[in-house]
Structure formats: structure tokens, C-alpha cells
């Protein structure tokens, strides 16, 4: 009887041990599953964070690019506004030198004034000094007079006011300057008003076509 009880006790112990081993194995498997789930969640979270960081970096780069573009546009608009203001002022300033030349011519051509005024040379000298000072100021600000006499007529720089018969010059040569023209930084402030040797009809058409093409390219 005691032997049977002992065997039964041993069986119960073996069963208990097996049950314990099964529980331990189940716990181990569950722990591995939990670890896999945790690893997967951690990996997904890292990928999600990586995407968020990448999207944030792209947004920052786009913002910086837009800011740089805006800065460049602002600089360009500021320069153009400054240049246009200077251009308009320079164009208006040409009236000063025009009036100075007219006044000097008026004094020079006035016979009575020349006959009765001994100070005429000094007056003309004062006009010349003023004119040189103005021209010097113009040059410092990139305003240049157009040299046109004996040059080929250029519709981009000259405006023909009259035609002159002169067989000693080629057709289309500027032989008279009625009003001086000026440029500023290679831009036309105003054209020279000129007289040119008479064109042939085909030359007039060709020059006009060249001017039209030049204006179209602008």
C-alpha cells in the first residue's frame, strides 16, 4: 500500500513538474512574442519618426528656398527702382545742359550784344566752365554723350530730322547734329536729333527692319 502511495505521489510530482514546465514554456513563448511585438512597434515608431524628421527637413528647406527667392526678388526690385529713379532724374537733367548751350548760342549770335559788351569773352568762358562741370558730373554717373557726326545712322541711337544731299558722304551718314543724344549705362536716355545724307529707299526699309528686330528682342 505504501508503495502505491509513493508511486502515486511520484506521478503527481512528475505531472506537476510537467505542468510547471509547460507554464514556463508558455511564458517564454509569450515573452518572445511580446518582445517581437515590442521590437516591431519600436521599429515602426522609428520609421514614423524618421518620416516626420524628413518631412520637417523638406519643409525647412522649402521655406529657406522661398525666403532666398523673396530676398533676390526684393534686391532686384530695389535695384530696378533705384536705377529707374536715377534714369528718370538723369533724363530730366539733360534740360540743364540744353538750356546752357542755348544761352551760350544766344549770346554768341547776338550782334548788338557782342558789339556793346566787352565782357562777352568772360561770359562765354563762364558758360564753358559750367558746361564742362555738368559733363564731368554726367560722366561720373555713367551718362555719356552719343558721338554721331560722320557716323553711320543708327535708328537705336539717332533720330533723323532731315535729309541732306552730300555726295562726299555715303548715304545714311550723320552730317549734322541738331540736338545731342545721351546714354546711361548703355541705355538710351534720348536719341541724337540729326541730319543725314539722303538714303536710298531700300536702305530706309532695311534700317527700319533692323530697328524693329532690335525692339522685338528687347
Provide the 10 A C-beta neighbour count for residue 173: 19
Q: Taking residues 86-93, what's their average pLDDT?
A: 82
Burial track 100-122 (b if 16+ CB lie within 10 A, e otherwise): eeeebeeeeeeeeeeeeeeeeee
Average pLDDT of 200-204? 52
Domain assignments of the chain as residue spans, ordered by start: 55-141, 144-218
**Where does 110-200 have alpha helices with state H?**
111-116, 120-140
Mean pLDDT, residues 173-184 taken together: 92
Residue whose grid cell is 508503495: 3
Residue 211 dihedral angles phi and psi, to the nearest 5°: -65, -45
Mean pLDDT over residues 76-89, rounded? 68
pTM: 0.52
Q: Which residue has the higher pLDDT, 103 or 178?
A: 178
CATH topology for 144-218 is Nucleotide Exchange Factor Grpe; Chain A, domain 2 (2.30.22)
Mean pLDDT of the chain: 76
**Do 191 and 158 touch, CB atoms closer than 8 A?**
yes
pLDDT-derived band of residue 53, with 50, 70 and 90 as boundaries?
confident
The confidence score (pLDDT) of residue 66 equals: 81
Amino acid at each position: 500500500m505504501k508503495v502505491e502511495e509513493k508511486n502515486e505521489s511520484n506521478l503527481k510530482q512528475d505531472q506537476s513538474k510537467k505542468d510547471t514546465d509547460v507554464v514556463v514554456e508558455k511564458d517564454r513563448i509569450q515573452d518572445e512574442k511580446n518582445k517581437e511585438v515590442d521590437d516591431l512597434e519600436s521599429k515602426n515608431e522609428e520609421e514614423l519618426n524618421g518620416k516626420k524628421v524628413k518631412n520637417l527637413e523638406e519643409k525647412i528647406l522649402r521655406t529657406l528656398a522661398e525666403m532666398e527667392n523673396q530676398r533676390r526678388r526684393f534686391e532686384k526690385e530695389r535695384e530696378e527702382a533705384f536705377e529707374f529713379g536715377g534714369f528718370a532724374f538723369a533724363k530730366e537733367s539733360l534740360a540743364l545742359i540744353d538750356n546752357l548751350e542755348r544761352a551760350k548760342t544766344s549770346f554768341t549770335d547776338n550782334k548788338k550784344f557782342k558789339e556793346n559788351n566787352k565782357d562777352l569773352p568772360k561770359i562765354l568762358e563762364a558758360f564753358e566752365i559750367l558746361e564742362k562741370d555738368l559733363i564731368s558730373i554726367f560722366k561720373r554717373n555713367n551718362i555719356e554723350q552719343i558721338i554721331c557726326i560722320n557716323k553711320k545712322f543708327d535708328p537705336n541711337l539717332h533720330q533723323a530730322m532731315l535729309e541732306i544731299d552730300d555726295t562726299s558722304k555715303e548715304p545714311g551718314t550723320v552730317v549734322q547734329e541738331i540736338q545731342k543724344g545721351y546714354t546711361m549705362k548703355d541705355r538710351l536716355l534720348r536719341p541724337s536729333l540729326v541730319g543725314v545724307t539722303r538714303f536710298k529707299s531700300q536702305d530706309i526699309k532695311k534700317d527700319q527692319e533692323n530697328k524693329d528686330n532690335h525692339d522685338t528682342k528687347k
